[in-house]
Amino acid sequence: MKELEHYLDQQLIRGRFHFTRKEAIKTLALNARAFGDAATRLIKKKQLVSPWRGFYLILRPEDRIAGAPDPVRWIDPLMKYLKLDYRISLLRAAAFHGSSHQAAMVFQVIVSKQLRGFDLGRHRIQFIYQRSAAFSSTNQDEWLQKLKSDTGFARVAGVELTLLDSARYFHKVGGINSVAQMANDLGGKADARKLAKAAACYENSSVRRLGYLLQYFGHERQAKAVLPLVKKAKSMKPLDPSVRLLNEDLSSLPEANATWMLTLNALVEIDE
């Protein structure tokens, strides 16, 4: 349908690379079936792609190789379409802040609603659920930054939230040594006051693991900022929760760190 193709051209001229089904139907005075048929044809021609039902991205020629634009270009309008607040965090945020060892193979977004992730072309989008109370407490403008693209800005976790999110969701970033890598690379950039304030919104055990790693890599000021939270600890926790001791390991229990109330059940290894 030529009307829809002309509509796409007009959107691109305006510098807009996305639209909704509702907007197009209203502008073109189409019925739902006619629009659906036209959109399906353009998707097959690789002129359109739909990351979410009713939300479409217009593919430029340079986007077609990867099958979709970089998610940073469209995550903000998608989340506005879904009426959800969000922040880009974990691996992509770590790379944005300068942790060059973090290969962002997945685009991770923290939200307060459980959403299913998806693949779009070569891009993998993963939504990480954070409880509503904790999300509302942490997703503050003072702790967020803007990640710029040619289409606008997206909300990205600041250094402090990136570190805390990574410690909390360590299993989503490749394990405790990936968190250690981020602590080494980014710890010195963290604002100690912001870190302490934001840390109060996270699970105590996650903060203790991060604090230990910050101290391990010599970021004393940042480590001391979260040290008072150790007083709330009720029991020792393992540095790496993914490691499970077998019966034959019980004769050589891991060393305990009383400062951070952690059992050091894993070696810390990073890339230099």
Percent of the chain with pLDDT over 90: 80
At 247 the pLDDT is 47
pLDDT at 253 over 70: no
Are both 120 and 191 inside the same structural domain?
yes
Are both 88 and 213 inside the same structural domain?
yes
At 160 the pLDDT is 98
64-83 pLDDT, tens digit per residue, is 888 899 999 999 999 999 99
Domain presence at residue 269: no
178-191 pLDDT, tens digit per residue, is 999 999 999 999 99
Range of the domain at 211: 73-243+252-264
Q: Report pTM.
A: 0.91
Burial class (CB in 10 A: 0-12, 13-18, 19+), 156: buried
* The total number of structural domains that make up the chain: 2
Are both 36 and 99 inside the same structural domain?
no
Are both 31 and 156 inside the same structural domain?
no
Which range, 10-19, 94-103, 146-155, 217-226, has the best average confidence (pLDDT)?
217-226
pLDDT at 249 over 60: no
Are both 103 and 39 inside the same structural domain?
no
CA distance 178 to 167: 9
Domain presence at residue 271: no
